[in-house]
Structure 1
């Protein structure tokens, strides 16, 4: 792991801790922390380069990754995440995640034991998921109610855009996501009674893609473990927040692009799924389109694929589809306990930032990112860092942004760390160069043979 990747992991940890503490409370200093993280991400993105073929990082980087796992364990013990569980249940969740993070960090330091890092992290995350789903079988949040009833509607052949949600504590008349959020989470309801099982599985799939992206090397194993054991991850599963549907697609895209060749074309499939799950993924398309290793044609095919995936619902009830996925999202009121720059200005001054101003700022950042990527080639790790920085700006300027949106930014940073590990060669920069092979000694020339004499006369019988 390089010094740069150590800085990425440190920024990820700060972001995760802030986001965990932000649920559900507004604090001006959390917004200030987010702004500092945004600035740090901008600096990391601007310093990115094409790292294909770079030498492997020194062993000190592995110790840094293990130290971040230790910080995560400490965060679980000291920072209480939002939950509807009782004190005993939540304590068990925190203890399971902290113990898994500590053990994963220790195993990372032992080369022969690193193969156990990911199983330990999966076990810790799985234990936490079981505790929160069983301990809170009916969370008081509209997202869970909507996804559960949308899954039931899919079995009956109903469109989620014409359904109404009974018992929802929030939205009751709209499915504000794109349809593949429901499609990807429905198997959890169908097979095990709760969509949250599917969300937990999607996080695990993303973690496996992260480790494979980094060729199962130590930094990639650490990144995958951090994704599974992130501070606040139990809240993500308990509240049925839907960002894992996007991350699984983006992680699959990154893995296939990393393999290159025909894999880059196959990468349009998971990208299309991510685009068909949530609207804001479209903000990343300009970055992917100008990146030479993916390009405009593949981005266009992914858009076309997403259109085909969405078409049955968009064409089946076009008015309801536009109402739910566009108008509902634009008309959502600002929530004063969201820790964004928008709500900070609103809470501190009473002024609502104009939509045109917010849109212009987001567009300006997106254009600047595209220009930077065109002028300076970067590797996959750099591209993922740019994607994280753009989404971070969007979150900070939004009317509503909570742990789940910031979790996705952090997950992209972990993918970037894994991509950096996967791009490096196996030669350590600290290893002495191999001695050049010397040419073999030339043998002395053989003495020339004397010229052959006249041929012997043939006997009459030889004719």
Structure 2
């Protein structure tokens, strides 16, 4: 594992510890911690290099993944996560996550193929066990997201649009489905088959973790990244509260895996699903469009595909769709217990940041990412780091951002570590670079030079 990847995992650990403690409380020092970690993530993205260099520099440090997993296990045990479970149930969830981290850390030390397979199995068992504990232990969480997703699934089963519904018993939003339609499509099978959408969310996290491991060719850093995704501090809260970021992650993870394996055109399909699930994925499109290995043509096709995936609901009621997904989101009031720079200024100075300031900050980071990706030969790991940086900064200046939004940023960092691990083919020794020529449309392990077109 390279020093860069180790730094990325350290940033991820700090991010998840802070995010876990932040639910649901505002603390100025949590915001300060986020700012420091965001600066580190932007710095890691800014210094990202060609995949071949990352791989050539990354042979040392085989013990680092185990050390970090041990640290994460201690965070799981020491940082209580928000839950509606009773004290005994909450403690059991933390013990399962912490112990599984220690087990995976021990299994990864030998580094053999058999031990890595056992490590994956242990992480999956821990994630499934945690998910089952929170879903069964809290059958009706007091959060509007769960109510909305449950009743959206029922509406779809009855042939009705989720954008024309009023939610019964919701403790928050009652008259809007604030997400794009494929959030409902991807979670509904959990309701239809097992009575609860959260089972589907758990499956989406498992599939995403498998993509993370495969992206890194199941090498030790990639297995560690997949295990960290499954055993992340606060992951029980993510499932219990039915937060919807797994619907985005599964698409982005599938996209990354297909790009790495030379199937960039097929990668437009999972990207379209991610775009049709939640609105903020659109912020990543400029990065994908200027990155030579994907390019603007595939980005345009994926965007058009997302439009087709959403078309049935748009056609069924454009006014309802616009109200729920645009007007409702723009009109959301700031929540003072969110840990962002926006709420920091609001809580400490009583001032709401002008939308122009928010826009300038996000556009500055987005512009830096676009310029870097156009001018340098940046590999898939670097691109994913930039994606994490853009969403991280957007969260920091948002009116509302909670554990789930920062969890997605962390998941992208884990994808970046896996992509770095999988940069060279297994046949190439650590100190050498693969030099086989490949068609321009399949330069996965050996990146193409920067180009304004997508090849």
TM-score category of the 2 structures, normalised to the smaller one: over 0.9
Write the deviation string for residues 276-312 of structure 1: whole angstroms up to 9, x where unpaired: 0000000000000000000000000000000000000
Distance 1:343 1:332 in 2: 13
Secondary structure of 1:371's aligned partner:
helix
Ranges in structure 2 where 5+ consecutive residues have no aligned partner: 434-455
Distance 2:431 2:248 in 1: 40
Instruction: Determine if contact 2:135/2:240 at 8 Å carries over to the other structure.
Output: yes
Structure with the greater alpha carbon radius of gyration: 1
Hey, what does 2:148 align to over in structure 1?
146
Write the deviation string for residues 193-251 of structure 1: whole angstroms up to 9, x where unpaired: 00000000000000000000001111100000000000010000000000000000000
Select 1:185's aligned residue among 184, 187, 196.
187
Hey, what does 1:329 align to over in structure 2?
329
Hey, what does 1:339 align to over in structure 2?
339
Instruction: Determine if contact 2:54/2:420 at 8 Å carries over to the other structure.
Output: no
Select 2:199's aligned residue among 186, 197, 200.
197
Distance 2:313 2:427 in 1: 51
CA shift, 1:180, in A, is 0.2
Secondary structure of 2:162's aligned partner:
coil
Distance 1:54 1:147 in 2: 41
Secondary structure of 2:169's aligned partner:
coil
Secondary structure of 1:111's aligned partner:
coil
TM-score, structure 1 as length reference: 0.91
Select 2:117's aligned residue among 108, 115, 118.
115
Select 2:167's aligned residue among 158, 165, 168.
165
Residue-pair matches, total: 431
Q: How does 1:6-405 map to 2 (within 5 A)?
A: 6-52=6-52, 55=55, 60-112=60-112, 113-260=115-262, 263-405=263-405
Instruction: Determine if contact 2:59/2:430 at 8 Å carries over to the other structure.
Output: no
CA shift, 1:111, in A, is 2.4
CA shift, 1:427, in A, is 7.3
**RMSD of the TM alignment (CA)?**
1.5
Out of 144-153 and 369-378, give the one that drifted further.
Answer: 369-378
Write the deviation string for residues 45-77 of structure 1: whole angstroms up to 9, x where unpaired: 111011137656666523111111101110111
TM-score, structure 2 as length reference: 0.92
Distance 1:266 1:380 in 2: 16
Ranges in structure 1 where 5+ consecutive residues have no aligned partner: 434-463
Distance 1:153 1:66 in 2: 46
Distance 1:38 1:111 in 2: 31
Q: How does 1:410-449 map to 2 (within 5 A)?
A: 410-426=410-426
Instruction: Determine if contact 1:55/1:428 at 8 Å carries over to the other structure.
Output: no
Distance 2:241 2:21 in 1: 15
Secondary structure of 1:81's aligned partner:
coil
Distance 1:160 1:355 in 2: 30
Secondary structure of 1:264's aligned partner:
coil
Cα 1:267/1:58, change in 2 over 3 Å:
closer
